[in-house]
Amino acid sequence: MGNLIFPKNYQSLLNLKETEKAIKLVKDTFQQNLSSELRLRRVTAPLFVLKGTGINDDLNGVERKVTFPIKDMNDHTAEVVNSLAKWKRMALADYGIEKGYGLYTDMNAIRPDEELDNIHSLYVDQWDWELVIGETDRNLEFLKYIVRKIYEVLKRTEFVIYEHYPKIEPILPDEITFLHAEELQVMYPKLTPKERELEAVKKHGAVFVIGIGGPLGDGKPHDGRAPDYDDWTTPTRSGYKGLNGDILLWNPMLESAFEISSMGIRVDRTTLLHQLDITNTTDRKELLFHKRLLNNDLPLSIGGGLGQSRICMYYLKKAHIGEIQSSIWSNEMIAECKRNNIFLV
């Protein structure tokens, strides 16, 4: 059982029936506004892909994938997706989506190696989105422009929830603050990356941490990123690198930084080769996704994922993600949560 946080005198603001209605309101409102703001069309996405195609997301490269043999395909192995970071980019090409437009989808995944706690579950649900961009858009200012658009959707959704449930008052700051992981390392050199995030988000309320994946001034990355979707090596300003990042919100219920999105401008042909080289994963060049990218068969894009259950949890002031989604929890966790007025569905 992971490290659980139990808010003092916790009492859910909504009962079970109200929660289920509110979850639908959050999801409907958010995805409609996201689609409109970024000009995204909804598409149907796979739950699993064939092993060995390079389509699945490797996350930090160490997590196990859920796999099974396909009887009608000579027992070829299928993998439940970890995310759709690469699949979406191929879908942009296959759907013939033009520059300035994109797609989004409901992504469902199973991550058996997650350490279960208030915000981590075996079951992952998120809105995966991807937008076609041009060569001149591959820069830090365009990344910030898209982040601000997403943040406006977050604020708009927060207001709709408040209109329906006045006891859930808005708390998001007017603007999101941008900080590079390198800046955080300099500001808090004795803290871990997660502790740096905590201090920054506690101060600002909403932060986008830029440049995740590459080594910082202390020689360590802020966090791990696969080498073949986000661009975390392109130089930006003052020696900083990276065209990707995470959206973090201050969660007063848990008194912690609350990651709701990982996103970024995707690698182009040159950046892919560079990041494969420095991570010693050049063998991936022979995989389906990588071949298509190296052959210029895929458009330039920006994309990311937005956690559905986490966003619902944040807006509805829930203490545990298990109050939003139905998953598997240990008997010990269920009992401990119940003793603290947290009832897992």
User: For the chain, which domains are there?
Assistant: 16-339 (3.30.930.10)
Cross-strand partners of 132:
301
Query: Taking 60 as the threshold, does the pLDDT of residue 1 lie above it?
Result: no
With beta carbons less than 8 A apart as the criterion, state whether 334 and 129 touch.
no
Tell me the pLDDT of the chain averaged across its residues: 94
Tens-place pLDDT, residues 319-340:
999 999 999 999 999 999 999 9
pLDDT band at 228 (very low <50, low <70, confident <90, very high): very high
**pLDDT at residue number 58:** 66
Query: Taking 70 as the threshold, does the pLDDT of residue 76 lie above it?
Result: yes
Nearest partner of 290 among 93, 52, 54, judged by Cα? 54
- At CA 303, angle to CA 110 and CA 263, rounded to 5? 70
Mean pLDDT lowest among 56-70, 101-115, 136-150, 260-274: 56-70
CA–CA distance, 136 with 232 (Å, rounded to integer): 17
Question: What torsion, rounded to 10 degrees, do the Cα atoms 216, 222, 224, 227 define?
Answer: -40
Tokens of 196: 């740096």
pLDDT band at 281 (very low <50, low <70, confident <90, very high): very high
Query: What are the distances in angstroms from CA 104 to CA 17, 138, 304, 305, 345?
Result: 28, 20, 10, 9, 27
With beta carbons less than 8 A apart as the criterion, state whether 227 and 275 touch.
yes
Confirm whether pTM is higher than 0.85: yes
- At CA 211, angle to CA 206 and CA 216, rounded to 5? 115
Contacts of 285 (CB under 8 A, 6+ apart): 273, 276, 291, 294
**pLDDT at residue number 63:** 74
CA–CA distance, 310 with 115 (Å, rounded to integer): 16
Average pLDDT over residues 199-222: 95
pLDDT band at 62 (very low <50, low <70, confident <90, very high): low
Contacts of 204 (CB under 8 A, 6+ apart): 173, 177, 250
Please list the alpha-helical segments (H only) found in the chain: 16-38, 85-95, 140-164, 181-187, 193-204, 269-278, 288-294, 308-315, 331-339
**pLDDT at residue number 235:** 95
Tens-place pLDDT, residues 164-202:
999 999 999 999 999 999 999 999 999 999 999 999 999
**pLDDT at residue number 59:** 61
Query: Taking 90 as the threshold, does the pLDDT of residue 244 lie above it?
Result: yes
What is the β-pairing status of strands 206-210 and 177-180? parallel
Question: Between 140-164 and 308-315, two packed helices, what is the crossing angle to 10 degrees?
Answer: 50
With beta carbons less than 8 A apart as the criterion, state whether 11 and 341 touch.
yes
- By annotation, the residues acting in catalysis are 57, 111, 126, 246, 259, 262
Query: What are the distances in angstroms from CA 141 to CA 144, 236, 246?
Result: 5, 10, 16
Query: Taking 90 as the threshold, does the pLDDT of residue 205 lie above it?
Result: yes
Give the rounded distance of the alpha carbon of 11 from its chain centre: 28
CA–CA distance, 267 with 235 (Å, rounded to integer): 13
